[in-house]
A = this chain, B = another copy of it.
Amino acid sequence: MNTFGEYFSFTSFGESHGKAVGGVVDGVQAGTLISLDVIREMLARRSGRGLPGVSPRAAVEPDQVEWLSGVIEEGGQWVALGTPIAFLIRNQDARSQDYAWLRHSFRPGHADYTYQAKYGLRDYRGGGRASARETAARVAAGAIAKQLLADKGITIRARLLQVGQETDPVKIEQLLQAVQAAGDSIGGIVGCVIEGLPAGVGEPLFDKLQARLAAAMMSINGCHGFDYGFGFDSLALHGSDLYEKDGQPVDVLSPQAMSGGIAGGISDGTTVRFRCLFKPAATIRRLYGGRHDCCIAVRAVPVVEAMTALTIQDFLSSE
């Protein structure tokens, strides 16, 4: 199904080759001010213009959102009515409605094969739905959630932490240019921090905060790994590293506590930190030609923020 969240929910619709993508956001309180600027800024980052490793031809114009319900303009501002907010983003390149993608052969690392296995060729749940195009609706919905959180002092910021083995920002940019020039692709890590989240968000058993965040991140195309706190780096540590030389425990809220802002499935009031691994894209220019990002992590940054915001707001709305 195509709904994310239970108490603050986002229902996604639209095919990449159809009229529009869009969504319905349910659970916004009446009177909430919605800044279109925040939405535009996130959609602009998703478009990739001016980002390293995104060729000028691959970058697209930021998408225009049309609001169908749930908001009214009052004095130059958008105000939520408390009803479902429905919006759409028209697909501009309507000419491509020839659905030529249906005739693609199976490529490794692509979903062509599994969609065919699950649905058969005539069904667009795969090709038409699961393309990067759909993330535009996620970003627009997530931008609304991000604002609700910001109103409560909770900020969400993601950024590109690593590309291949490289973590230095300058060298990352050079590496991306080299891979782009070679017509190849490379993996990367997007890090995300949630600041201002109060202690107490998450459930002790199955709905741990990290469990829901992991599911949200792993629902993004190309994300093949997730960790939080020290994550996989904790293999280099021992439990005793959590204690001072005199045997006193480090402060439970300090970074050395390895918590990543979460303990027992519940936020501890410190900064939540997690990482998302994006694998090298399978479709590369050297072999297929055309316009392809050399590192999908680059444009995934606002999608990570959007899915994080939807997840956290759903938790807050459940209380």
A7-44 interface bits toward B, Cβ cutoff 8 Å, 1 = contact, 0 = none: 10101111100111110101101110000000000000
With A124-B83, A266-B118 known to touch, is A234 a contact of B224 (CB < 8 Å)? yes
A110-137 interface bits toward B, Cβ cutoff 8 Å, 1 = contact, 0 = none: 1111110111101111101110001000
| Chain B nearest Cβ from A84, distance in angstroms | 4
Does chain B have a CB within 8 A of A249? yes
Residues on B with beta carbons closer than 8 Å to the beta carbon of A165: 235-236
Of B20, B29, B199, which one neighbours A114 at CB under 8 angstroms? Answer: B199
Is there an interface contact between B235 and A164, defined as CB atoms closer than 8 Å? yes
A284 to B238, CA, bound (A): 10
A236 to B254, CA, bound (A): 32
Residues on B with beta carbons closer than 8 Å to the beta carbon of A130: 204-205, 264-265
| Chain B nearest Cβ from A260, distance in angstroms | 7
Is there an interface contact between B232 and A277, defined as CB atoms closer than 8 Å? yes
A88-122 interface bits toward B, Cβ cutoff 8 Å, 1 = contact, 0 = none: 10000000000000000011111111110111101
With A113-B268, A120-B30, A162-B235 known to touch, is A134 a contact of B205 (CB < 8 Å)? yes
Is there an interface contact between A22 and B164, defined as CB atoms closer than 8 Å? no
Does chain B have a CB within 8 A of A58? no
Is there an interface contact between A279 and B229, defined as CB atoms closer than 8 Å? yes
Residues 206-260 (chain A) with a chain B CB within 8 angstroms? 206-208, 210-219, 221, 224-232, 234-243, 247, 249-254, 256-260
Beta-carbon nearest neighbor of A162 in chain B: B235
Does chain B have a CB within 8 A of A174? no
Which stretch from A67-75, A142-150, A152-160 is at the chain B interface?
A67-75
Is there an interface contact between B215 and A129, defined as CB atoms closer than 8 Å? no
Of B123, B232, B264, which one neighbours A30 at CB under 8 angstroms? Answer: B123
Is there an interface contact between B235 and A15, defined as CB atoms closer than 8 Å? no
A125 to B27, CA, bound (A): 11
| Chain B nearest Cβ from A157, distance in angstroms | 21
Interface residue tally for chain A (C-beta within 8 Å) = 135
Does chain B have a CB within 8 A of A195? no
A197 to B251, CA, bound (A): 45
A166-188 interface bits toward B, Cβ cutoff 8 Å, 1 = contact, 0 = none: 00000000000001000011111
Is there an interface contact between A239 and B185, defined as CB atoms closer than 8 Å? yes
Report A's interface with B, CB cutoff 8 A.
Answer: 1-4, 7, 9, 11-15, 18-22, 24, 26-27, 29-31, 67-70, 72, 81-86, 88, 106-115, 117-120, 122-126, 128-130, 134, 162, 164-165, 179, 184-189, 199-200, 202-208, 210-219, 221, 224-232, 234-243, 247, 249-254, 256-260, 262-269, 277, 279-284, 286-287
Can you pick out 24 interface pairs between chain A and chain B where the beta carbons lie within 8 Å of each other?
A: A1-B9, A3-B26, A13-B24, A18-B72, A30-B122, A30-B123, A81-B124, A108-B256, A109-B258, A113-B199, A114-B265, A117-B268, A117-B269, A130-B205, A164-B235, A186-B238, A206-B219, A211-B216, A212-B215, A224-B227, A227-B277, A240-B287, A243-B287, A247-B287
